[in-house]
Amino acid sequence: MLFEKISVVNERFEIEHDRYVGIRDGRIIYIGAWRPSGDWGETYNGHGRLLMPGLYNIHGHAAMTLLRGRGENLSLQRWLNEKIFPFEDKLNDRAVDAGTRLAIAEMLRFGTVSFSDMYFFCQTSAKAILESGIKCSLSRGLTVFDGSDYEDTLAYRDNLDLLKNYNGAGDGRLKIDLCIHGEYTSSPKVVEAVARHAKETGSRVHIHMSETKTEHEACKARHGMTPAAYFEARGLFDQPTTAAHCVWLEDGDFEILKRKGVSVAACPVSNMKLASGFAPVPRMMEMGINVGLGTDSAASNNNLNMMQDLALFALLYKGSTGDPTVITPAQALRAATQNGAIAQGRTDSGVIREGARADLVVLNIDQPWMTPTIDLLTNVIYSAQGSDVCLTMVDGKVLYRDGEYTTIDIEKVKYETQKETDAILAQL
């Protein structure tokens, strides 16, 4: 495909206008002011359109679309214990299949090209992910509430199967990470065992960390150290790790994340909805910690529209710090794209440059709310709507375009999701 006379977010996260961008064999081959020679297949008219790197949603639980709207306006503990956990006890493969496909459809619709997922029934979601063409770093949720060894858990057996059969599948689009759900849902010996397993298999790790004040303080009371210090001491951060939330970091924690190269998945909408607090993102960024963005689940957001999270991410820390200069539009967009790709270990993605993977989004900028174009990047962050996404491409393949999905039967997926949700609710 050849994008013709289109505005482009370049690798410095600045806008260039009237560019030709050529895609071949899944990669960006050409970017320039002149039409390249050769046969590029379809020519895409870029008038009134902006080509930007695809969005990376680096923390979520896709199949929880099934729980969208369940248990609103409750405290976190009541929400989990009364509404979420009983529903999740009834989950099955059919429900997870439907919920995951719905989540992928929603993400593609709003420009997400890759997501990091932590959940159960991962063999089922792996198939849905591969069929959809989206990218994913998938991790099987691990919680251990008794004295069990990691090797005795179902999660360990699932991890062996997933690593053997799915890691690197779909030309590398699907990657398998290991998981510790959180400090408060595991034990020191399990954390150490997962750290060893990650080292042995060269896996990345996905965790929740310091999401709520209660959780953070309870860890200090139990172990005499913060969650970040605890995970570091048990060797978990020796492999590349993505830590979701990091709302309650203390001074020494920033140094740990920086030293160990831990990526942070900031989830501003989820943190606000569950009243968890405001992550100290400006300080993390100032220190050079890699910060990306996550929606968290549709039960605590309540959508997977990263354009909304992006806008809030760019606004929130101005409000919470009292400093309107923190987090520029370019920093916000880089966080939602390239930083996410780095967190997933996809260093040839997340940015528009020659040779990079063609994971791209086209935004319709020919809209009242995007006019005039004094500063197009600012419009993208503060004015654009998720529904302005008119094309989503992964590895050079168009997966969503102008209301149509190329790999998903959206009517069937919506029907199945409602059906499976109703079936579970009927059992509660």
> Among 81, 121, 85, which residue's Cα sits nearest to residue 100?
121
Segment lying near Ni ion (by CB under 5 A), choices 25-33, 136-144, 218-226, 292-300? 292-300
117 near Ni ion, judged by CB under 5 A: no
Range list of β-strands (E), 210-359? 241-245, 263-266, 291-293
- Does residue 64 contact residue 79 with C-beta atoms inside 8 Å? no
Site for Ni ion in 333-372 (CB under 5 A): none
> Among 204, 197, 186, which residue's Cα sits nearest to residue 243?
204
Pick between residue 106 and residue 296 the one whose CB is nearest to Ni ion: 296
Residues 6 or more apart from 216 whose CB is under 8 A from it? 210, 226, 227, 247, 248
Sign for the pseudo-dihedral over CA of 52, 57, 62, 68: negative
Segment lying near Ni ion (by CB under 5 A), choices 107-115, 296-304, 371-379, 412-420? 296-304
Pick between residue 97 and residue 296 the one whose CB is nearest to Ni ion: 296
Q: Render 105-136 in DSSP notation, one character per residue.
A: HHHHHTTEEEEEEEES-HHHHHHHHHHHT-EE
97 near Ni ion, judged by CB under 5 A: no
CB of 61 to Ni ion, least distance (A): 6
CA distance 284 to 343: 15
CB of 78 to Ni ion, least distance (A): 17
Pick between residue 97 and residue 117 the one whose CB is nearest to Ni ion: 117
Pick between residue 167 and residue 242 the one whose CB is nearest to Ni ion: 242
CA distance 411 to 392: 19
Segment lying near Ni ion (by CB under 5 A), choices 121-129, 252-260, 290-298, 414-422? 290-298
Pick between residue 296 and residue 416 the one whose CB is nearest to Ni ion: 296
- Does residue 368 contact residue 383 with C-beta atoms inside 8 Å? no
Segment lying near Ni ion (by CB under 5 A), choices 289-297, 311-319, 335-343, 385-393? 289-297
Per-residue contact flags (x/-) with Ni ion for residues 249 to 288, judged by CB under 5 A? ----------------------------------------
296 near Ni ion, judged by CB under 5 A: yes
Pick between residue 94 and residue 181 the one whose CB is nearest to Ni ion: 181
- Does residue 59 contact residue 97 with C-beta atoms inside 8 Å? no
CB of 266 to Ni ion, least distance (A): 12
Pick between residue 54 and residue 294 the one whose CB is nearest to Ni ion: 294
Pick between residue 198 and residue 243 the one whose CB is nearest to Ni ion: 243
Other Cβ atoms less than 10 A from the Cβ of 402: the count is 9
158 near Ni ion, judged by CB under 5 A: no
CB of 55 to Ni ion, least distance (A): 18
Half-sphere exposure of 18 (CA within 13 A, CB side): 2
Binding-site residue total for Ni ion (CB under 5 A)?
1
- Does residue 50 contact residue 18 with C-beta atoms inside 8 Å? no
387 phi/psi in degrees, rounded to 5: -70, -5
CB of 296 to Ni ion, least distance (A): 5
CB of 262 to Ni ion, least distance (A): 16
Sign for the pseudo-dihedral over CA of 386, 389, 390, 396: negative
CB of 265 to Ni ion, least distance (A): 8
Sign for the pseudo-dihedral over CA of 296, 301, 307, 312: negative
Per-residue contact flags (x/-) with Ni ion for residues 26 to 65, judged by CB under 5 A? ----------------------------------------
CB of 253 to Ni ion, least distance (A): 19
Other Cβ atoms less than 10 A from the Cβ of 375: the count is 12
Nearest residue (beta carbon) to Ni ion = 296
DSSP tally for the chain: helices H, then strands E: 16, 17
Alpha helix positions (H), 24-121: 76-78, 85-89, 93-109
Segment lying near Ni ion (by CB under 5 A), choices 30-38, 48-56, 291-299, 364-372? 291-299
Segment lying near Ni ion (by CB under 5 A), choices 42-50, 195-203, 294-302, 380-388? 294-302
CB of 143 to Ni ion, least distance (A): 12
215 near Ni ion, judged by CB under 5 A: no
* Residue ranges that bind Ni ion, judged by CB under 5 A: 296
